[in-house]
Amino acid sequence: MCCYKLLKKMRLPKIVYITLTVGLMYCYGTMTGMGISMLRAYIMFGIRLCAELAGRTYDLLTAVAVAAVAALVQQPLYVAYSGFLFSFGAVCGIGIFLPAAQANLLGHGRAERAFVSGTAISLFTLPVYLSFYYEFPPYSILLNLVVIPCMTFVLLGGLITLAAAALYLPLGAAAAVPVHCMLLFYEKCCSVCLRLPDSSWITGCPKPWQTALFAGILIGLAAGERRLPKLLFWQGVLCALLALTVRLPQGLQITMIDVGQGDCIYMAEDSGVHLLIDGGSSDQSDVLSYQITPFLKHEGASYLDAVVVTHPDEDHISGIRALLEEAGTGGITVGTLYLPDVGERGRNEAYRELERLAGEAKVALGYLGCGDVLRFEEVMLTCLHPRPGLNEDEPNAYSTVLYLTYGAFTALFTGDLEGAGEEEVAAAVRAMQKNSLHNTTVLKVAHHGSANSTGEAFLRAVAPKIALISAGANNRYGHPHKELLERLADAGCRIYRTQESGAVTVYVRKGRVRVEGYCRRK
């Protein structure tokens, strides 16, 4: 719009408008690699020029609808592309919500009007942020105050660059320098904002009904415009934000995250507690960035009350080590890191490294041995293994084993336990079940389903109803082994495997247990 006003002030002949329109049509037909925002801007600008030539009124929402259809004709899959939704959502925010917001300003200063303009864009793109990235950068509202005025010059610079490049390619490269500098300036501003405190608000992924309700409230407020009291209008905006970001009670959630050949178990409960047991993989590179952190953000877990390391093997700690190295810069912070309470022989180099990283990250350190209890509201985790001070240099042999109780629901998390440790845990489980009169509901099968673990005697003692196995697809160890699967089937277990179902989630609410896999793999 501003770009068009600048051209109109120049009182250019109609032949110039015709030339620009034809040039923009040519760009649309040939420059398929153009960014969606620039493509949208050029199409809408072309419609503005056509309106001038035809002597018709220009309508923003009509133009954005035509631009969206034109972009989708070129590439229908844009409809699921975050860039497309961001670009057109921002324009819809300007065309639909901004007039109503400006009509309900509590003041009339230029700064307030500019701030509301940025807020309107952020509001309409907020569902896209949360649905694709599960977090929102609050400083983006202020960045919009800088970016929006610059877009006029970026668009004009782009047009000049196209015309210059058509005449002589090096001339086009030279003409692109000012635009490049403006975009570089914007990139630097974004980098600075990312280093500021609270640069990201992790809210989790909203449900589809929340997004629909949010959009319905905003559109309703825009339709009401001047018919609502100003204070009631802004209270409606707050209600829309609450509807989008609220997380309804769901009881206890236990998710075995698909990290390939490794272990990572996430737990959350309505009281706001978030826990992690292990977090590593031996066949997935940067498992923290690509598997663990995206999942935690999806669940709205910006703070982990406790991270429990069952033993310091790479396939259980690679992601946790990276989490401590980032020290909260990735948006996830840790309250306490718990390591197995073992003697000096068991504290190998990887164990010591975790202690060192926790100290550098200012994360509290705790040590778990048999008999220790972690209690978080209704969630109680009792450590059944190892014996405090156990001197064992084989990490699997001193794996931390946790027994969870949540009302009548119970679960056993075994790390890579095998051998003599199974006998100790089986005896402890029998004693706990005798007191509670409940069998184990869920068993996290030890050692990724190795035939050398989870023996028949152990299964008879634990008597699980549901077995969860974390193993990588086509892993080189052949996990889970056929013999182990047969033992679980004979014990009457329902078996869920990450290599088949992706992430497996157990929901426990009001005494009911529901298990869901993320997908069914072929």
Chain centroid offset of residue 273 CA: 18
CB-based contact 266:257 (threshold 8 Å): yes
Sign of CA dihedral 437, 438, 439, 440: negative
Average pLDDT over residues 381-396: 91
* Rounded Cα gap, residues 303 and 364, in angstroms: 13
Q: Which architecture characterizes domain 252-517 according to CATH? A: 4-Layer Sandwich (3.60)
* Residue given tokens 């980032």 in the structure block: 326
CB-based contact 283:312 (threshold 8 Å): no
Give 76's contacts (C-beta < 8 A, 6+ positions apart). Answer: none
Mean pLDDT of the chain: 85
pLDDT at 98 over 70: yes
**Overall pTM > 0.95:** no
Chain centroid offset of residue 17 CA: 45
* Rounded Cα gap, residues 276 and 308, in angstroms: 6
Nearest to 321 by CA among 310, 335, 309: 309
Question: What are 209-224's pLDDT values in tens digits?
Answer: 999 999 999 999 888 7
Average pLDDT over residues 125-136: 92
User: What do you get for the CA distance between the two ends of the chain, in Å?
Assistant: 51
Min mean pLDDT across 58-62, 247-251, 393-397, 488-492 is at 58-62
| Model pLDDT, residue 133 | 92
Domain boundaries, the chain: 2-243, 252-517
Nearest to 468 by CA among 446, 451, 440: 446
Greatest Cα pair distance in the chain: 92
| Model pLDDT, residue 109 | 67
* Rounded Cα gap, residues 267 and 299, in angstroms: 10
pLDDT at 26 over 50: no
* Rounded Cα gap, residues 328 and 334, in angstroms: 8
* Rounded Cα gap, residues 27 and 49, in angstroms: 15
* Rounded Cα gap, residues 506 and 441, in angstroms: 11
Question: What are 141-184's pLDDT values in tens digits?
Answer: 778 777 777 777 777 787 788 778 878 888 888 988 988 888 88
- Strand 379-385: give its sheet, edge to edge: 373-376, 379-385, 401-406, 409-413, 442-444, 466-469, 494-497
* Rounded Cα gap, residues 400 and 385, in angstroms: 5
